[in-house]
Chains A and B, each alone.
Chain A
Amino acid sequence: MKSLDVFFNCREQVIEEWVNAIFNTYPLQSTGFLRTVKDPFTNPVADMTREAARTVYEAVSGWDKKPEDVKQAIDRFVHLRAVQAMLPSQGIMVFYLLKPIMRKHVLPKLKDQALQDYLDAESRLDTIVLMAFDIYMKSRETVAENRIREIKNQHAQLVRWAQRVGGSPLEQEGKS
């Protein structure tokens, strides 16, 4: 059996375990809801986690995936983790929770000569984590930028008005 098939055959089990491992990082009382409610709008956290997990696992397995598609699939998930109350390391490290699960389910089923295939898969995960890191940083910058823009917007007209009062150097602005 080709390595890719081994990855494929364990897919549902690995993804489910990984998603649950991510849910388990949230308080106990919340995980039941995260696990059971399937609607993407009434349980968005589970939806974005599942979306990310599926695409990431497929990309890690070695399926043909464009970097753009992977980014798109993890975008919501990383945006969420970038603003939830946790350390940056905790935000990102959930990707690495995939490794022990793959080592449990995939690695033993691979033939010896396929070890390189497995190592390649883990390296692909490392690449995805770096992509996630970029999105994470961008998200944090957006939060900071939002703060600045908001403060500016609140008083936008006051500043404009203050510049007009008493005559602005700009002729057309100083007519009040």
Chain B
Amino acid sequence: MSTSTVAQPGPRSAGPAHSSNARTASPGPGPSFFRVLNSEFIKFRTLLSTLILLAATAVVMVGFGALSAWGTGQFADAAGSDPQAAEALAAQGGDLAVTVPTSGIAFAQLILGSLGVLLMSSEFTTGMARSTFAAVPKRIPAFVAKLAVVMVSAFILTAVSTYVAGLVAVPILDNYGLKLDLASSQSIKLLLVNSAYVAAVAAIGMALGTLVRNSAGGIMSLVGLFFVAPIAFQLIPGDFFVEARKYLPGNTLTPLTAVEHVPDTLEVWQAGLVLGAWVVVPLALATILLKIRDV
């Protein structure tokens, strides 16, 4: 390492001039919520891995939008000549195009949920938490600030990616004579609900990362909850699991976005409450444990 720049402590090098013993009661501004939020945003944007995950989400969302536009077009074409396909198309309400921009949502929730886990677990695995909570010893403001940064980023990124995916999909669908109106109320609803849903998943990820304090463990729990449990619940026979399946957080998106009620899912209001509980309960638990556990 370079030692040529070693600063020798001298009267001018230890910091701003200050009278040594006379220290006033108020040394200067402390960690207000706004300052902590600013700090968490700096932390968020100065990690390359975070930026890569955000970019990956956008690419996947837009890519899947384009792919799905093409697939939907092919399907609609086939429906023109095949009565069976036409029947299937009619069963979908005839409006397949409107869901095209959000086709990549499963991947967005996986990536951004994992990001939520990582941003919290890495605090503990790297020791950064000691710096974070020495600066904000009340701890909860730092957690809430990070949560705000994560959820708002997840929401905005999903919304923008969905919109861009829509822009890419429109001309492709047009080739097959399908119309997608990004300004329609259903399009806007899908964009908002999906973005809010992904923000909720990212929040659940943050709670898991805080509880588990370990990146692999946190991501495994997230994947278990969103990808393994729905399949496992379907495979296990019994009415209980059919019923319980509806209450998994990943199964609340369908009722929340459907035009009409889909069988074997919750009502819209129920789905909203269930998803809310999946966010609030783990977060509350994480907050309490964060406050009382040693860093």
Q: Do A and B bind each other?
A: no
